Amino acid sequence: MNTKIAWITGATSGIGEATTLKLADNGFDVIITGRRNDRLTALKEKLEKNGIRVLSLCFDVRVEAEVKSAVENLPDEWKNIDVLVNNAGLAAGLSAIQDGDTDDWNRMIDTNIKGLLYITRYVSPLMINRKAGHIINIGSIAGKEVYPNGNVYCATKHAVDALTKGMRMDMLKHNIRVTQICPGAVETEFSIVRFHGDEARAAKVYDGYECLVAADIADCVWFAVSRPPHVNVNDMVVMPTAQASGTLFNRKF
Ligand code: NDP
Ligand code: 8X3
């Protein structure tokens, strides 16, 4: 029962799934969360075959009552959470502000800002009780700079950047590490979600250069997690070699 426990939000796809696999490979038991229960079940079965203990919790991070209930109903043997990876998030749309779809805006704000806040609000007291823990927020290059038509998504990731700094101050006296990891372009379901299922448009985002894969970001999470306890990686910005800013790519065409 001394195995470390990691809670990964958005474990059903992309960076969250890769991070789950990486932490499990390195001996963590995992709490995996997301809204797609079939994917959670498949991941749980795969990990359990390799002897990893898995708790699967299907809920929407936007609904505070669901987040609160998930944490309050954690079985005792799952309460000692060592690592929380706040990964669940999305972009929806890519439009000038005057053309923006306000449903898209609400989804991004509710997921990327409020969802991350709800999870942190209810999980961090469990870490504070033990005077130990590590919170890792998945930010973005979009939280460091703004690009045309990225307005609201960029604002939500700038909020993650600010919240990471604020959390680090609040967690200081509780001995809890707080890290932000800010990827550039990673080929996941991200752009399919952003373009509301338009796979052809999504594929163009990654065309003509070698983008990051989810496992590259999982490696960064593991680097931060595996530092000695006195070392906190504050912030990592990780881009494809072929990307120099939110919009500048070295495409081979
Ligand atoms: P994916 O679309 O592949 O994965 C997103 C994950 O978030 C899914 O597991 C999804 O699970 C979960 N999620 C979304 N909304 C909710 C919700 N309301 N409640 C619970 N879970 C939710 O994208 P990525 O892996 O690329 O994205 C992961 C994070 O990385 C995001 O925060 C994103 O902003 C960030 N990022 C991505 C980059 C990229 O280029 N891909 C670059 C920089 C940052 P489900 O649908 O099952 O609920
Ligand atoms: C996702 C990467 O460049 O679309 O955060 O903002 S980008």
Instruction: Identify the band that residue 187 occupies on the pLDDT scale cut at 50, 70 and 90.
Output: very high
Nearest bound ligand to the CA of residue 154: 2
Q: Which atom of ligand 2 lies closest to the CA of 153?
A: 6
140 lines ligand 2 (CB under 6 A): yes
Residue-wise pLDDT for 132-175, tens only, equals 999 999 999 999 999 999 999 999 999 999 999 999 999 999 99
| C-alpha closest to that of 31 among 1, 52, 62 | 52
**Cα of 10 from ligand 1 centre, angstroms:** 6
Active site residue 153: yes
Q: For ligand 1, is residue 13 a contact (CB within 6 Å)?
A: yes
First to last CA, the chain: 54
Is 140 a pocket residue for ligand 1 (Cβ < 6 Å)?
yes
Closest atom, ligand 1, to C-alpha of 62: 18
62 in ligand 1 pocket by Cβ < 6 Å? yes
Res 4 pLDDT > 70: yes
Answer yes or no: is pLDDT of 88 > 60: yes
Q: Which of 218, 219, 222, 137 is nearest to 171 (CA)?
A: 137
Q: How does the average pLDDT of the chain come out, rounded?
A: 98
Q: Model's pTM, two decimal places? A: 0.98
Q: Ligand 2, residues 87, 108, 141, 217: which to mutate, most atoms within 8 A of Cβ?
A: 141
CA distance 176 to 131: 7
> Which residue in the list 118, 122, 147, 153 is annotated as catalytic?
153
Residue 196: the pLDDT is 98
Give the ligand with the smallest distance to the CA of 114: 1
**Residue 173 CA, ligand 1 centroid: distance in Å:** 31
Is the separation of the CB atoms in 82 and 132 below 8 Å?
yes
CA dihedral 11, 17, 21, 27 (to 10 degrees): -30
As a whole number, mean pLDDT of residues 188-198 equals 98
**What is residue 71's predicted lDDT score, i.e. its pLDDT?**
98
Can you list the domains of the chain with their CATH numbers?
5-186+213-233 (3.40.50.720)
- Whether 100 has a pLDDT exceeding 70, the answer reads yes
Q: How much distance in Å is there from the Cα of 5 to the middle of ligand 1?
A: 21
Pocket test for ligand 1, best of 7, 12, 62 (most atoms within 8 A of CB): 12
Residue of 158, 180, 187, 190 best suited for mutating to test ligand 2, as the one with most atoms within 8 Å of CB: 190
pLDDT of residue 170: 98
Percent over 70 (pLDDT), the chain:
99
Flag whether pLDDT at 2 surpasses 80. Answer: no
Q: Render pLDDT for 52-79 as a digit per residue (tens, 0 to 9).
A: 999 999 999 999 999 999 999 999 999 9
For tokens 């800010």, the residue is 182
With a CB cutoff of 8 Å and minimum separation 6, the contacts of 5 are 28, 29, 30, 31, 78, 80, 81, 82, 83
pLDDT band at 251 (very low <50, low <70, confident <90, very high): very high
pLDDT at 1 over 70: no
Q: 253 pLDDT band (50/70/90 cuts)?
A: confident
